[in-house]
Amino acid sequence: MPSPKSRRLPALAATVLTLLAFTTVPAEAAPPAKVPVVNHYVALGDSFTAGPLIPWQSASWCFRSNNNYPSWLATKLGIYYTSGAFEDVSCSSATTAHMTQPQTVPDASIPLTTEPPQFDALTLDTDLVTIGIGGNDAGVFGHLVYDCPTYRSSDPTGAPCKKHYTVNGVDTLLAAVAQTEKNVERVVAGARKRSPGAKILVIGYPRLLPPTGYCPSVMPFADGDYRYLDQVERALNAALSKAAKAKGATYVDTYAPSLGHDACAGDAAWVNGQYTNLLQAVSYHPFEEGMEGIASIIYNVLSGAPAGAADTRPVAPRTSHGTALTPQQLAHRMELAPIGR
């Protein structure tokens, strides 16, 4: 008759084998992200979508680049060069009103021509729409980046811009953002009506300023206004997120993923500072690197990749899509119509 000790040996061996099995056999890998199939993609938006001064610029007073995030996204989706599959009608200085109304370009003060309403590009067979709009409504973006630096000298360590836009205890810029939320709701609803089968993505604005610290040579705001500008940008993105949710669209957050890529981040910056570079980006707007980063974020949302995952799919070098401007032509246009708001 086996002893109690010998009877325990098989049981112990089985236990050890079971533990080894759990510790040495890898868990089943998650299924790879699925490449979305898109047949007709339309990009709507303002200058943060269009990409003013990022090479190469289309022959348009919208200052639209073929290296903006819609173009990179279309490339990742494999439709950039497919005739009729990709249409980018984003335009610098556009507001939510220009989804349904013509836009005077390059600016109302220099009415050289007009662009048709951006919604004109939407059709019944459009199956993907990205919307990057809202920052120009009520001039919020222009007030922040072009007006706020002028107040720095009056109180370099304070928040003179916040003080200027607070009237009778009411922050007028934050109040304007609240109205922008309603405007973007109407934009999403309008896009859905024109393209009922489309997946609609509302694209947020990337981070402009770091969470701490200052870089006044790049972003010339008073110290206290750094937090104020960031507060207004976060409020704007929150408004876009709420508008998307209210109308059944998907909000794409580019603010959180762009941590470490603000305008103060040096070579890692996705957004330009105060000095316009004719061959890189207009002041306070994205560089090509930022557009590529945003395109990867959007692609990951479409493909179901984990949040924060990098898109490692190879992408061919960008070439011109349609007529592009030479640097000399671009410089001439800038003399005629300097990009600002």
Angle, to 10 degrees, between the axis of helix 172-194 and the axis of helix 223-246? 30
Alpha-carbon Rg of the chain, whole angstroms? 25
Q: How confident is the model at residue 323 (pLDDT cuts 50, 70, 90)?
A: low
Q: How confident is the model at residue 60 (pLDDT cuts 50, 70, 90)?
A: confident
Taking all residues of the chain, what is their mean pLDDT, rounded to a whole number? 87
Window from 104-113, 133-142, 162-171, 259-268 with minimum mean pLDDT: 104-113
- Residue 277 φ then ψ, to 5°: -120, 120
Instruction: Supply the pLDDT for residue 321.
Output: 53
Angle, to 10 degrees, between the axis of helix 69-76 and the axis of helix 288-303? 40
Name the strand (E) or helix (H) holding 183: helix 172-194
Token readout for 116 is: 């048709």
pTM, two decimal places = 0.85
β-bridge mates for residue 238, sequence order: none
Burial of 31 from C-beta contacts in 10 A (0-12 / 13-18 / 19+):
exposed
Window from 146-160, 289-303, 322-336 with minimum mean pLDDT: 322-336
Q: Which long-range contacts (CB under 8 A, 24 or more apart) does 83-88 make?
A: 84/40, 85/38, 85/39, 85/40, 85/41, 86/40, 86/41, 86/43, 87/40, 87/41, 87/42, 87/43, 87/121, 88/42, 88/43, 88/49, 88/50, 88/64
Average pLDDT, integer, range 238-264: 98
Instruction: Supply the pLDDT for residue 102.
Output: 98
Instruction: Supply the pLDDT for residue 126.
Output: 98
Q: How far is it between the farthest Cα atoms of the chain?
A: 104
Please determine, for residue 33, whether its predicted confidence score (pLDDT) is greater than 70.
no
The percent of the chain in helix, strand and coil, each rounded to the nearest 5, is 40, 15, 45
Average pLDDT, integer, range 154-158: 97
Q: Which long-range contacts (CB under 8 A, 24 or more apart) does 268-271 make?
A: 270/206, 270/207, 270/294, 271/206, 271/207, 271/208
| Total residue count of the chain as it appears in this document | 341
Instruction: Supply the pLDDT for residue 23.
Output: 38
Q: Where are the beta strands (DSSP E) in the chain?
A: 41-45, 86-88, 103-107, 110-115, 128-132, 166-167, 170-171, 199-203, 250-252
Instruction: Supply the pLDDT for residue 35.
Output: 74
Cα distance between residue 165 and residue 168, in whole Å: 10
Window from 10-24, 68-82, 277-291 with minimum mean pLDDT: 10-24
Nearest-CA neighbor of 269 among 253, 284, 279?
A: 284
Q: What is the dihedral of CA 295, 36, 198, 286, to 10 degrees?
A: 0
- Residue 167 φ then ψ, to 5°: -120, 120
Q: How confident is the model at residue 274 (pLDDT cuts 50, 70, 90)?
A: very high
Nearest-CA neighbor of 131 among 12, 271, 234, 252?
A: 252
Dihedral sign computed on CA atoms, order 194, 94, 107, 295: negative
Cα distance between residue 324 and residue 60, in whole Å: 9
CB 41 within 8 A of CB 86: yes
Average pLDDT, integer, range 42-59: 95
